[in-house]
Amino acid sequence: MTDDHDDNAPPVIAIDGPTASGKGTIAQRVADAFGWHYLDSGALYRIAALRALRAGTPLDDEEALAALARALAPQFAQGRILVDGQDVADAIRAEAVGSAASRIAVHPALRAALVDLQRSFRRPPGLVADGRDMGTAIFPDASLKVFLTASAESRAIRRHKQLIEKGFSANLTDLLLDLRERDARDMQRASAPLKPAQGALLLDSTDLTIEQTVEAVLDAYRRRTES
């Protein structure tokens, strides 16, 4: 694991923020606009959580979780996520899996086990990475760091819509409660807590459309790299 800046390393845009802040959509669109790679780091935590749930691994067994995470070799292709030949792209979006992901993410050994896998996504011509600690821990030399937020209520409404569209049942009040709980856990954990990286662009998307939010990120990147 190294944090040293390498001038030849492909550029990274790091987009961090709380659950359901729209990071995934925004990051994917920014990656598409530049023709860059995209890393959904939350998906890796969710894959680890899904495996743990299916294997019956206790969510507080740090060493067993780290071993399970070290063995992960997921393949991302055209919206599918293959783990051991099985597509888990939909299964990892279930609320129970997101909640378990947030629980296992508090363990430093589990987080350390996922570092190299996350950094392996940094390939030419560039990478847009979204998560909680992309700018603070995984890619501290990112060219642009964005901290994307939105009010808890608007995030709950967005998550509700997403889940219904995917065919999951969902209750708005429960989602809001769960989202506040998850925010608190992600922000208060000792290991790589969710917080804006130094120098991050703070972007509140509550009253912005997806297009406006994407444009704000593209604009900020152009300004930072031109100066």
Q: How many residues lie near ligand DC (CB under 6 A)? A: 14
Among positions 131, 136, 142, 148, the unique one binding ligand DC when judged by CB under 6 A: 131
Among 160, 182, 200, 214, binds ligand DC (CB under 6 A): 182
**DSSP letters for 13-61:** EEEE-STTSSHHHHHHHHHHHHT-EEEEHHHHHHHHHHHHHHHT--TT-
Question: Shortest gap between Cβ of 5 and ligand DC (angstroms)?
Answer: 20
The DSSP 8-state label assigned to residue 197 in this structure reads P
Binding mask 69-98 for ligand DC (x = CB under 6 A): -----------------------------x
Toward ligand DC, which CB reaches closer, 71 or 187? 187
* Listed residue (140, 149, 164, 185) closest to 45, CA to CA: 185
Instruction: Report how far residue 18's alpha carbon sits from residue 203's, in angstroms, rounded to the nearest whole number.
Output: 12
For ligand DC, the binding residue among 13, 31, 68, 102 (CB under 6 A) is: 102
In the complex, the smallest distance separating the C-beta of residue 35 from ligand DC, rounded to whole angstroms, is: 23
- Whether the CA torsion 135, 155, 219, 24 is positive or negative: it is positive
Sign of CA dihedral 4, 32, 150, 227: positive
Distance CA 141, CA 155 (A): 29
Count how many Cα atoms sit within 13 Å of the Cα of residue 138 in the half-sphere of its side chain.
Answer: 32
Residue 45 makes contact with ligand DC by CB under 6 A: yes
Find out whether 160 and 172 touch, Cβ atoms under 8 Å: yes
Question: From CA 74, how far away is CA 139, in angstroms rounded?
Answer: 20
Output 46 or 145, the one with its CB closest to ligand DC.
46
Q: Is 135 in the site for ligand DC (CB under 6 A)?
A: no
From 53-61, 65-73, 131-139, 196-204, give the range in contact with ligand DC by CB under 6 A: 131-139
| Stretch near ligand DC under the rule CB under 6 A, chosen from 2-10, 100-108, 167-175, 208-216 | 100-108
Please choose, out of 39-47, 64-72, 148-156, 197-205, the segment that lies near ligand DC by the rule CB under 6 A: 39-47
**Contact residues for ligand DC, defined by CB under 6 A:** 19, 41-42, 45-46, 98, 101-102, 105, 131-133, 182, 186
